[in-house]
């Protein structure tokens, strides 16, 4: 079974063998985290839940290996006006959700990714988030509870954000006026701090290509 780890306990021998890939998901979006929303469930407020709409993977050189839209539950497409109130402009996230309505079925995507991720180290920025949405989306699609390691048993998942917090505990915000939520360990901030400039944030392929560069820099500083 693959190990969820930030690398310290992984043997040097295994580190040299595993190919590194970089994964990112985009989702329908949800602000339903924490106690105020404890009563909200997928069954009673399904259009407020967070489900995957897009996924991308690249290799260490930034070469795209996989990118596809994923069908969210139909309730999203039926309730976009509730998901994004009428007083808000049509957003990129809204457009992504509509496009994802014509996307692939999630179970089929997982089946395609399983051979791709065999015997790989899979680097994800903020792994806890992507873990949750992948596992939740799989359960919603199949009725089966499965962990990331159940789905990809020979892969090793690594959180680059945790590595960044260890390597750069005092990372500086790129956007000084963005408020407390914009921490210096966000991928966009790290990408800018390392001198790579800005990029198309929340485009999953651009995200993983940026992550590949940031990860290389983090490893070199470890």
**What are the tens digits of pLDDT across the range 22-54?**
999 988 765 444 333 444 555 555 545 677 889
How far separated are the first and last CA of the chain, in Å rounded?
A: 26
Domain contains 46: yes
What's the number of domains the chain is made of? 1
Residue 191 in domain: no
pLDDT band at 124 (very low <50, low <70, confident <90, very high): very high
Could you tell me if residue 129 is inside a domain? yes
Q: Residue 162: inside a domain, yes or no?
A: yes
Q: What is the pLDDT of residues 154-201, one digit of tens each?
A: 999 999 999 999 988 876 665 555 444 446 788 988 888 888 988 887
Does 143 fall in a domain? yes
142 or 14, which is more confident: 142
pTM attached to this predicted model? 0.77
CB contact at 8 A, 166 and 6: yes
Higher-confidence residue of 152 and 71: namely: 152
Do the Cβ atoms of 4 and 157 come closer than 8 Å?
yes
Query: Which residue range(s) make up the domain with 46?
Result: 12-166
Does the pLDDT value for residue 21 go beyond 70? yes
pLDDT at residue 99, as a whole number: 66
* Best CA proximity match to 120, nearest among 42, 65, 192: 65
CATH code, domain carrying 68: 3.30.420.10
Q: Single out the residue of 165, 221, 199, 192 nearest to residue 24, CA to CA.
A: 199
Residue 62 lies in a domain: yes
Whether 92 is in a domain gets the answer yes
Q: What is the pLDDT of residue 15?
A: 42
Q: Is residue 127 part of a domain?
A: yes
């Amino acid at each position: 079974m693959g190990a969820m780890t930030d690398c310290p306990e992984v043997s040097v021998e295994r580190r040299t063998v595993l190919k590194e890939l970089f994964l990112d998901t985009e989702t329908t979006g949800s602000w339903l985290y924490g106690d105020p929303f404890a009563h909200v469930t997928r069954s009673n407020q399904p259009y407020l839940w967070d489900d995957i709409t897009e996924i991308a993977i690249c290799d260490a050189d930034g070469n795209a290996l996989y990118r596809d839209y994923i069908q969210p539950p139909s309730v999203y497409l039926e309730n976009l006006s509730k998901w994004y109130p009428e007083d808000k402009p049509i957003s990129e996230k809204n457009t992504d959700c509509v496009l994802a309505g014509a996307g692939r079925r999630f179970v089929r995507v997982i089946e395609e990714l399983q051979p791709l991720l065999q015997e790989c180290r899979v680097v994800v920025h903020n792994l806890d988030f992507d873990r949750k949405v992948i596992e939740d989306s799989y359960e919603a699609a199949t009725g089966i509870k499965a962990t990331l390691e159940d789905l990809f048993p020979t892969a090793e998942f690594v959180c680059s954000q945790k590595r960044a917090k260890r390597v750069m505990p005092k990372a500086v915000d790129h956007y000084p006026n963005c408020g407390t939520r914009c921490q210096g360990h966000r991928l966009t901030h790290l990408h800018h701090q390392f001198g790579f400039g800005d990029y198309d944030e929340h485009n999953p392929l651009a995200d993983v290509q940026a992550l590949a560069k940031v990860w290389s820099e983090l490893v070199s500083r470890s």
